[in-house]
């Protein structure tokens, strides 16, 4: 490679939002053992990216400043480091970069082989880049926490998915319907038809009285809630849960941990479970193959060039994206 510098965006301290992202020229990183250098074609933003910037995970993340944020990428392998056996230069891939290192908002990034999967021509870079954090969160919430079998076997599970038009929510609805489920979903009025089109059986406008109360139009009690929204108290969920129902909170805050502890201490059959996504290569590969087979789609809210990535960042912070926000170098 003749050039040694690349365009990237970074921030130097906590806070500041989109205005704190700086366009910089930095050295193209070098892959170490079990790593690959990728030339990026698409980067997907997740709320966790700007929450880390806000300091939600301080002092753990970011590991150091300046920080190049974002972790979900799709691109082409340019160079492999020692020990990489399954990929070679020219391969098209989807990768989850580690939040410890980040590095996604750039023209190139280094990815670990154990969090990288092949991307077939049927899956566009943008579709692939949307999958890692949001897709794997939805997959883990459904299969591990809610016990849904995505092959359609097992007893029917009555599910509620909140904020169903967002990044995690729109994947959760589609994946849930691969299993034996009845899905009630909440979203804003403008997205009711969209969420229905993803396969939801019942859709509630969260601003109506029934929507705010999370009441199933068909009177069902929920066996599990995939909770992708914020600011809904336990007291709203509890009357809508079945006797062993659980709320799976994908963005748990202090009150969620308090509820989790209280339910444990009182041996309550109704539970709240905080969910922390664990990125697994085999699950990412499964999702990429579902997209390839037309059984799952990444809905793209908007695309921005890397030169305007701060606008994508601001849109993510705004919190009203339908599907995924993509940045393209």
Q: What is the pLDDT of residues 268-283, one digit of tens each?
A: 999 999 999 999 999 9
149 and 264 part of one domain: yes
104 occurs within a structural domain: yes
69 and 156 part of one domain: no
- Of 118, 189, 171, which Cα lies nearest the Cα of 300? 171
In contact, 99 and 48? CB cutoff 8 Å: yes
The per-residue pLDDT for range 133-175, each reduced to its tens digit, is: 999 999 999 999 999 999 999 899 999 999 999 999 999 999 9
The pLDDT of residue 1 is 46
269 and 319 part of one domain: no
139 occurs within a structural domain: yes
Q: String of b and e for 167-189 (b: at least 16 CB within 10 Å)? A: bbbbbbbbbbbbbbbbbbbbbbe
In contact, 175 and 296? CB cutoff 8 Å: yes
| Total domains in the fold of the chain | 2
Structure confidence at residue 62 as a pLDDT band (50, 70, 90) = confident
**Full DSSP string of 265-315:** HTT-SSEEEE------HHHHHHHHHHHHTTS----EEEEEEGGGHHHHHHH
Kind and range of the H or E element at 9?
A: strand 5-10
291 occurs within a structural domain: no
293 occurs within a structural domain: no
81 occurs within a structural domain: yes
Q: Which domain holds residue 224?
A: 134-274
* H runs (alpha helix) in the chain: 47-54, 125-129, 132-140, 167-176, 192-197, 209-212, 234-237, 254-265, 281-292, 309-318
Lowest mean pLDDT among 113-122, 178-187, 266-275: 266-275
73 and 98 part of one domain: yes
Structure confidence at residue 267 as a pLDDT band (50, 70, 90) = confident
170 and 266 part of one domain: yes
The per-residue pLDDT for range 215-260, each reduced to its tens digit, is: 999 999 999 999 999 889 999 999 999 999 999 999 888 888 889 9
270 occurs within a structural domain: yes
First-residue to last-residue Cα distance in the chain: 17
157 and 262 part of one domain: yes
Residue that is last in its domain, among 274, 290, 312: 274
And the tokens for 147? 């016990």
121 and 201 part of one domain: no
Torsion of CA 38, 42, 46, 50, to 10 degrees: 80
CATH number for the domain that contains residue 111: 3.90.180.10
DSSP secondary-structure letter at 172? Answer: H
């Amino acid at each position: 490679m003749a050039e040694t510098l690349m365009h990237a965006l970074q921030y130097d301290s906590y806070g500041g939002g989109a205005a704190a992202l700086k366009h910089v020229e930095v050295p193209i990183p070098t892959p170490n053992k079990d790593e690959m250098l990728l030339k990026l074609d698409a980067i997907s933003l997740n709320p966790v990216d700007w929450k880390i910037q806000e300091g939600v995970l301080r002092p753990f993340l970011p590991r150091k400043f300046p920080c190049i944020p974002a972790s979900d990428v799709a691109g082409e392998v340019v160079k492999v480091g020692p020990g990489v056996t399954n990929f070679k230069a020219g391969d098209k891939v989807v990768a989850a970069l580690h939040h410890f290192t980040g590095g996604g908002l750039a023209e190139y990034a280094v990815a670990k082989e154990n969090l990288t999967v092949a991307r077939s021509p049927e899956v566009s870079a943008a579709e692939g880049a949307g999958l890692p954090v949001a897709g794997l969160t939805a997959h883990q919430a459904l299969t591990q926490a809610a016990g849904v079998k995505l092959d359609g076997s097992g007893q029917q599970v009555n599910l509620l998915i909140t904020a169903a038009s967002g990044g995690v929510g729109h994947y959760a609805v589609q994946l849930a319907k691969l299993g034996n489920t009845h899905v009630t979903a909440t979203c804003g009025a403008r997205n009711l038809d969209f969420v229905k089109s993803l396969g939801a059986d019942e859709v509630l406008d969260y601003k109506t009285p029934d929507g705010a109360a999370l009441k199933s139009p068909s009177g069902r009690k929920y066996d599990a809630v995939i909770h992708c929204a914020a600011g809904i108290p336990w007291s709203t969920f509890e009357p809508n849960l079945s006797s062993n129902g659980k709320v799976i909170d994908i963005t748990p805050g202090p009150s969620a941990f308090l509820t989790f502890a209280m339910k444990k201490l009182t041996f309550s059959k109704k539970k709240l479970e905080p969910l922390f996504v664990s990125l697994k290569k085999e699950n990412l590969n499964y999702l990429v193959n579902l997209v390839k087979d037309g059984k799952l789609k990444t809905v793209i809210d908007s695309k921005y060039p890397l030169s305007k990535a701060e606008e994508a960042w601001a849109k993510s912070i705004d919190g009203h994206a339908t599907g995924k926000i993509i940045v393209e170098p």
